[in-house]
Amino acid sequence: MTLTREEHMFIWMLMINLAVAVLYLVCGMFIAVPIRKKENEDEEYLYDGRKTYIVRFVIMLLCPVVAPLFFFMTHLLYMTIFRFQVNLEDVIFDKSRVKTQVKANEERERNVIPVEEALAVSDEKNLRMAMMNIIKGDMNESLSSVALALNSEDSESAHYAASILSDKLNEFRMGVHKLYRQMKEEGPDSTEYEEALTAYMNDFLKQKVFMELEQNRFIRMLEEAMERLYEKNASKLSAEWCESLCLLLLESRDYEKMEKWCQRLEEQYPDELCTYTSRLKLYFTVKNREAFFQTLNVLKNSNIIIDNETLEMIRIFS
């Protein structure tokens, strides 16, 4: 049987297409892929793997001439046009530099009431509305209010409260243990993780949303972090942090450590009101009458600006 000229050309075209496809597969799998992996060995390699070349090889066999030309043209476009790096110097990705003006949700604001008020009047509708508003907003500052809703007679509100607390408390536990582990591993002159752990735990523990046993355990971890920070660089301990720790130690009835931190507060911040109020609360709790009135008299004769709460206390005991 004699083949025509067209049939000979078709067979030759298929053979050339097969040779090109095989050459492409071999070069891709055994040359291109290892080179790319070596170039990106420190990063995750996500494109043009061996499976990609196998798929393209099959497409070349099923679509002779057209498929090889298509892959060649796309690669040529990539090499000539799309390979250049885009200049992103003028592009800002930092959200802190962008001030977004959001229209106030007047309907939502009119319906906002404190969780405590909703619980006091047993208003299920308002309580649920308050819980939903907390979920939509920043919950980290409202966890103590959310905890009040756990004992609500409304099962749906109690479920919302339990879900919020469960997620936030687990997030806090994981965050604390991660920072605590990093704190233990850092160098003797670094205070990064002590500061991060102190700020993170102070803001959370003062809301008193943990059971007593777990709360006391976290207070001990916080005191350890602040002790390390005091030994490394005492100037980085703010008066607010020290006062917050004193109140937490008072809550856990660790009066010995609280007295130690009251003394440190007095050494570093002798002209701060919290220095005196922390000592007054300690002496009042342990019933040290002499030290209490001595501290009170020193405060009265000082030039420190006194808030309403402390002023009321002075009036009562004067």
In a domain, 133, yes or no: no
Q: Which residue's structure tokens are 């942090």?
A: 241
pLDDT in tens, the chain (318 residues): 677 888 888 888 889 989 988 988 888 888 887 877 776 654 444 456 778 888 888 888 888 888 888 888 887 887 776 555 555 454 444 444 445 555 555 544 444 445 444 444 455 555 555 555 555 555 555 565 566 555 555 566 666 666 777 777 788 888 888 888 888 888 888 888 889 888 888 878 887 778 888 888 989 999 999 999 998 888 888 888 898 999 999 988 999 999 999 999 888 888 888 888 998 889 989 988 888 888 888 888 888 888 787 777 777 776
* Domains: count for the chain: 2
With beta carbons less than 8 A apart as the criterion, state whether 278 and 243 touch. Answer: yes
Residue 254 lies in a domain: yes
Last residue of a domain, one of 60, 76, 92: 76
In a domain, 41, yes or no: yes
- Of 27, 55, 76, at which residue does a domain stop? 76
Domain range enclosing 39: 5-76
Q: Is residue 12 part of a domain?
A: yes
Radius of gyration of the CA atoms of the chain, in A: 34
Q: How far is the CA of 277 from the CAs of 205, 273, 284, in angstroms?
A: 20, 6, 10
Q: Is 150 exposed, middle or buried (0-12, 13-18, 19+ CB in 10 A)?
A: middle
Model pTM above 0.75: no
CA distances for 87 relative to 76, 77, 98, 123, 189, angstroms: 22, 19, 20, 58, 39
Question: What are the tokens at 246?
Answer: 């004193």
For the record, the structure tokens of 317 come out as 């005991």
DSSP code at position 100: -
Nearest to 29 by CA among 47, 56, 49, 43: 49
Q: Please choose, from the candidates 232, 229, 285, 214, the residue with its C-alpha nearest in 3D space to the C-alpha of residue 256.
A: 285
